[in-house]
Amino acid sequence: MQDYVSSNGTFSNGVLSNGRRTVAVAGTCLALAALGLNSQAHAASYGTPTISLSATYLSGAVGGVGDPTVQVTVAQSGADASALTVAASKSSKTSVAPTSAVTVTGTAGTRQLAVTAAAQGYTDLTVKVTGLGGKTATKTLHYAASAAVQQPADTRYFTGSSDASAAVDVGGGYVVVADDESNVLRLYDRSASGAPVRTWDFSDDIGVDKEIDIEGAARVGDTIYWTGSLGNNKDGEYKAARNTVFTTKVTGTGADTTLSYGSSYGKLRDDLVAWDKANGNKYGFAAGTADGEIPKEIDGFNVEGLEFAPGSTTTAYLGFRAPLAPAVAGGKALLVPVTNIDKVVANGTAAAFGTPIELDLGGLSVRDIRKNAANQYLIVAGSWAADDNSDPYALYSWTGNAADQPVKLRDLPTTDPGAWEAVVDVPDLTVAGARAQLITDDGAADLYGDGTEAKDLSYPEWQKSRSTWFTVTG
């Protein structure tokens, strides 16, 4: 019905109204309409939020302490970053990590995202930023959780590689870790789980394009000596790169540590074989290095430890995983002193050897050996066998003197994945409650329950080696 206006009011749809009231109502309607248009215009002025992740792959552990985190960077044109909210909006497998297990801290443009694993496995987490005007954007975080382990509070995970094989403390709470599947050296914060803070690869300097199979390391002054296993590969084939010892020079400490290449030597295996032949083939080095011989046999040939003799800067002990001496069950672990290792690596001088040392490690062999400035040694003892992730491991103390036998300090746990491969440094073993940090090689471990060995995982963020602090004195 049409409205009619008279001098007394307006007749609208059969109802007479006061003219001034009608004007007020009409004004209010116009104001509300204008406000609505303004709000729409204001909302339209906000851009679509942006979101980026510092890593799109992340690993954690059930019960893990200090698991790695991801940095989330968000922004929205026309809005202050503090007005944006960030949260996980979806999990592809909630049994591994539901959205409630994702926490985001921070209020500015950079946030930190952490995940608390609920179970072993994989899940894709959708990370969503919500901006002003109700606009959103998402990114996917691919998350992998390994199973719970013993001593979780004392455990950290070094990511980027799963095949840790040797480690050297560089002070300030940092350690350089070698990998027996590549020639990359990685610097880690000993107290934190996560990626290396820097890496080095000296393959070009050494002149190798294959893995050295780094298995042992020792530091004297500002020089670190690194040795390959010197043995055949797992198929019994000779690979020249494995017959390598090289040095790096350390500059700085802690997070500021840098390494530079020193020199290398590629005939130590040959020198050892010749020396053993000259002494009646007592240890069978020639047979153990023959074509087709598997290195990780009781009578094989495989070096896994390197450390200097007490008070020496020129004599270094080579610790053998194989052979045992004699090469029978219950045999002793073998150390062979290289008495001129400084000249060997620096000048290419043929190696000279001292009297070999045979240690009673309860039928186990040397997996690592490390000493402190007081010449107190720790020896990680393990099986010579290749299937040793569940075989016995133990930790021994030793004086470094051939006349003294090592003393067993403790057994090492074997129910969790990984093989104990390295001890970072040696505490004062005269102090009760002293603790040492050990590192595993997890390359053959099925970390995430899908049958994939860690060394074959597609993403370095999912590859990791486990480090654990153990109390070694009563």
User: pLDDT-derived band of residue 5, with 50, 70 and 90 as boundaries?
Assistant: very low
- Which residues, 6+ apart, have CB-to-CB distance to 323 below 8 Å? 283, 284, 288, 297, 298, 299, 300, 301, 331, 334, 384
| pLDDT score, position 391 | 87
Query: Does the structure show a pLDDT above 50 at 247?
Result: yes
How far is it, in rounded angstroms, from Cα 251 to Cα 351? Answer: 28
The string of pLDDT tens digits covering residues 43-98 is: 558 999 999 999 999 999 999 999 999 999 999 999 999 999 999 999 999 999 99
Average pLDDT along the chain: 92
What pLDDT score does 43 carry? 53
Q: Which two tokens stand for residue 146?
A: 């390994």
Closest CA to 155 of 471, 472, 473, 470: 470
Instruction: Tell me if residue 41 falls in helix, strand or coil.
Output: helix
User: Mapped to the 3 state alphabet, what secondary structure does 330-359 carry?
Assistant: CCEEEEEEECCHHHHHHHCCCCCECCCEEE
CA-nearest of 371, 378, 455 to 419 is 455
Q: What does the pLDDT read at residue 390?
A: 77
Which segment of 29-38, 201-210, 244-253, 292-301 scores lowest on mean pLDDT?
Answer: 29-38
Tracing tokens 């090492």 back to the chain, one arrives at: 412
Phi, psi at residue 380, to the nearest 5°? -85, 120
pLDDT 10s digits, 185-196: 999 999 999 999
What are the residue ranges of helices labelled H in 341-408?
341-347
pTM above 0.85, yes or no: yes
Q: Do residues 446 and 412 touch, judged by C-beta distance below 8 A? A: no
The kind and range of the H/E element at 215 are: strand 214-220
Give the alpha-carbon dihedral of 75, 81, 83, 85, to 10 degrees. Answer: 60
> 44-48, 239-243, 422-426 — which is least confidently predicted?
44-48
pLDDT in tens, 367-403: 999 999 999 999 999 999 976 577 899 999 999 999 9
Of residues 22 and 148, more confidently modeled: 148
Check pLDDT > 50 for residue 28.
Answer: no
- In this prediction, what percent of the chain has a pLDDT beyond 90? 89
pLDDT at position 30 is 34
Select from 132, 91, 139, 147 the least CA-distant residue to 111. 139
* pLDDT beyond 80 at 13: no
Query: Is the pLDDT at 24 greater than 50, yes or no?
Result: no
Statement: residue 42 has pLDDT above 60: no
Q: Report the distance separating Cα 379 and Cα 394, nearest Å.
A: 8
CA–CA dist 258, 248 (Å, integer): 10
Looking at residues 329-352, what average pLDDT do you find?
98
Structure-block tokens of residue 184: 């990359």
Cβ distance 218 to 202 under 8 Å?
no
Q: Does pLDDT of 436 surpass 70?
A: yes
Instruction: Please give the residue that has the higher pLDDT: either 34 or 412.
Output: 412
